[in-house]
Structure 1
Amino acid sequence: MPNREHVLALDIGGTKLAAGVMDRGGGLRSFVRTPTRVEEGPDAVVARLLALGREALTAAGHRPDGMAAVGIGCGGPLDPVTGRVLGPPGLPHWDDVPIVDLVTAAFGRPARLENDATAAALGEYRHGPWRDVRHMLYLTVSTGVGGGLILDGRLYRGAAGNGGEFGHVIVDWNGRLCGCGQRGCVEAYASGSAIARRAVEALAGDEPSSLRDVAGVTAEAVATHAAQGDPLARRIWDESTAALGRAVAVMINMVEPQLVVLGGGVTRAGDALLLPVRRAALGQAMRPAAAAARIELSALGDTVGVVGAAASAFLHLDEGANT
């Protein structure tokens, strides 16, 4: 019989896929990951995701029929009711992918799809070290930028299940074109892919930079060279943290959270990201909201997507049991 104390969790990102088996208390029994390779198309990526899920089960010493459910986290837009992915900017050609049906058929267990950043917010809230927090905003800064909300201790999903698309907060209404089709979104400035792209554009000019010696410029490389004093990298990094800080200030004014948690791959830069974003956000937010909020880095690190997908699956199981 299925064990209601364990779920399989799958995390679909534009850069990496991850999977793991988690117990109800937040203990990860396994955690594996692999590059997404979006250029290979949805069919190949889904096949790799399912194989990774089987690898996670094997590593945890479990079989699919021992799982209560499968939790799936993926960037939006998506439809959690029908279990379909509806063309996220970071997943080209994923225009109508029935991911829940595919996962259910592969593992023989009920599956639940949740916006990845919404799920991550739940995972961070339930299994991070944040005590006595009832209002929390989670922001993931990775290939794209997304987020999730905990309001009065409850996960906020929104009317269509995609609440928390904070990457598309406008920081410059006449600014850079975003993958969503709008201009000036914070994702177009502060996501990992945008930071790298802006650095490459800057390198097309004549300005000297140590980044010219880097094969395949990434956001991590920009952060590293900025810290080493490279002027071009410093400018790109400062613009990115300023845009992110402004967006966080807008969110703080709107929601008035006690805690803002920053996660995702770009936050591996640590204080080089946290400190300027914190300074900008709290300096620009309205005084009462700023006084009530603190801004911290994720406690769950690279596992937050899997922990969040698992937490979402457990929440869905519990909600079903209570209806």
Structure 2
Amino acid sequence: MQKLGIIDVGGTTIKFATWDGQAIQDHHAITTPKTKADFFELLTAEVNTMKQQRAIEGVAISAPGAVNKLTGVIEGASALPYIHNFPIQAELAAAFGLPVSIENDANCAALAELASGAGRDVDSLVFLVIGTGVGGSVIVNHQVWHGAHLFGGEFGFMLMDGEHILSELGTAPQAVNRYLAVRPEVDNIDGKQLFDLAAQGDTDAQASIQTMYDALGLAIYNLQYSFDPEKVVIGGAISNNPALIPGIEQAIEKIRARVEIASVKPTIVPCDYHDEANLRGAVVDFEQTYAAV
């Protein structure tokens, strides 16, 4: 395996590391620049250091947005408008003097799980990232399915009840918002506190969380019976909550009890990687991108 520089572009910080063929090294983060010029200057300086210290042979990048692998352009939108809608892959390759790969951050995280994490024993999976919204990735035969319009894995847009999309129903922040709407006397709380209240018997907290479980259960049920993945991997900080997957599974069982023909029970597992997921997945993407070169 090649020695690579790895970059995970985020709206607040950019993570840098190197890959020695087996493990991540030199992992550190720097505040994300405000302009394209400063962005290019920072990345070029960091890559030049990697070239001198580690003799890297390419640069693997994870980034937000809809990455068009055919054109090397990041389409769509993100918190960093200056990375979009120009040939960023080619321009970075010219600046670095090295081959460059770029893939969407959720797709990178899914590739990391597929290669050596929770999905290492399968060929196909659905990866759901549950945060302030719901995103993710679809993997078919070890390859990311980007979709005809680069919307593969945008599960948060799925309409769940004729009115609300999954990102409005299936996340902890939205569950908190529902709770505060019916309990205006409660000071602002976070997702962990909401789960604690539910465990203590607060019926409003329990109802709000159940709405989240039901939405995620319906989404995963539908994905299982439309795409039929071998595994469904859950990412995002909430994946650390031991109550999450049992709650989703109970919601799915209620659906399966109503649909007698539904013989398959989805296999749902938490992700293995968190902080390093995008970095590790960018390496996998680089190797796939240049496999035939």
Match of 1:311, SS?
A: helix
- Write the letter of the residue equivalent to 2:222: V
**Residues of 1 paired with 2:158 and 2:245: CA distance?**
19
**What residue number does 2:158 align with?**
169
**Residues of 1 paired with 2:167 and 2:10: CA distance?**
15
**What residue number does 2:60 align with?**
71
**Residues of 2 paired with 1:226 and 1:57: CA distance?**
51
* Equivalent residue in structure 1 for 2:43, among 38, 50, 57: 50
User: 1:196, CA displacement in angstroms?
Assistant: 2.6
Please give the residue correspondences for 1:23-62 in structure 2 after superposition, counting only pairs within 5 Å. 23-25=20-22, 27-33=23-29, 43=36, 46=39, 50=43, 54=46
Identity of aligned residues (%): 26
1:230-280 deviation per Cα after TM superposition (whole angstroms, max 9, x unaligned): 555444333223212211111111111121111122323x22222112322
* Equivalent residue in structure 1 for 2:250, among 279, 292, 306: 279
1:121-155 deviation per Cα after TM superposition (whole angstroms, max 9, x unaligned): 22211112545422222111234322222323444
Match of 2:126, SS?
A: strand
Please give the residue correspondences for 1:309-320 in structure 2 after superposition, counting only pairs within 5 Å. 309-319=282-292
**What residue number does 2:228 align with?**
256
Aligned residues: 290
User: 1:311, CA displacement in angstroms?
Assistant: 0.8
* Equivalent residue in structure 2 for 1:135, among 124, 135, 146: 124
Structure showing greater radius of gyration is 2
**Residues of 1 paired with 2:269 and 2:289: CA distance?**
28
- Write the letter of the residue equivalent to 2:170: A
**What residue number does 1:113 align with?**
102
Unaligned runs of 5+ in 1: 176-183
**What residue number does 1:181 align with?**
none
**Residues of 2 paired with 1:101 and 1:63: CA distance?**
22
Instruction: Report the TM-score, using the length of structure 1 for normalisation.
Output: 0.73
Change (3 A) 1:298 1:33: farther
**Residues of 2 paired with 1:65 and 1:42: CA distance?**
28
Unaligned runs of 5+ in 2: none
- Write the letter of the residue equivalent to 2:251: A
Match of 1:137, SS?
A: strand
- Write the letter of the residue equivalent to 2:173: A
Change (3 A) 1:63 1:272: farther
* Equivalent residue in structure 2 for 1:196, among 143, 164, 173: 173
User: 1:64, CA displacement in angstroms?
Assistant: 7.9
Instruction: Confirm or deny that 1:300 pairs with 2:293.
Output: no
2:178, 2:208 within 8 Å by CA — same for their partners in 1? no
Change (3 A) 1:277 1:30: farther
User: 1:18, CA displacement in angstroms?
Assistant: 3.2
**What residue number does 1:179 align with?**
none
Change (3 A) 1:220 1:284: same
1:64, 1:107 within 8 Å by CA — same for their partners in 2? no
**Residues of 2 paired with 1:157 and 1:64: CA distance?**
35
User: 1:104, CA displacement in angstroms?
Assistant: 3.2
2:179, 2:205 within 8 Å by CA — same for their partners in 1? no
1:219-240 deviation per Cα after TM superposition (whole angstroms, max 9, x unaligned): 4454455445555544433322
Please give the residue correspondences for 1:161-240 in structure 2 after superposition, counting only pairs within 5 Å. 161-175=150-164, 184=165, 186-191=166-171, 195-196=172-173, 199-200=176-177, 202-203=179-180, 207-209=184-186, 212=187, 214=188, 217-240=189-212
Match of 2:111, SS?
A: helix
1:20, 1:57 within 8 Å by CA — same for their partners in 2? no
**Residues of 2 paired with 1:83 and 1:201: CA distance?**
40
**What residue number does 2:139 align with?**
150
- RMSD of aligned alpha carbons: 3.7
User: 1:11, CA displacement in angstroms?
Assistant: 2.5
User: 1:289, CA displacement in angstroms?
Assistant: 6.4
Match of 1:271, SS?
A: coil
User: 1:197, CA displacement in angstroms?
Assistant: 5.3
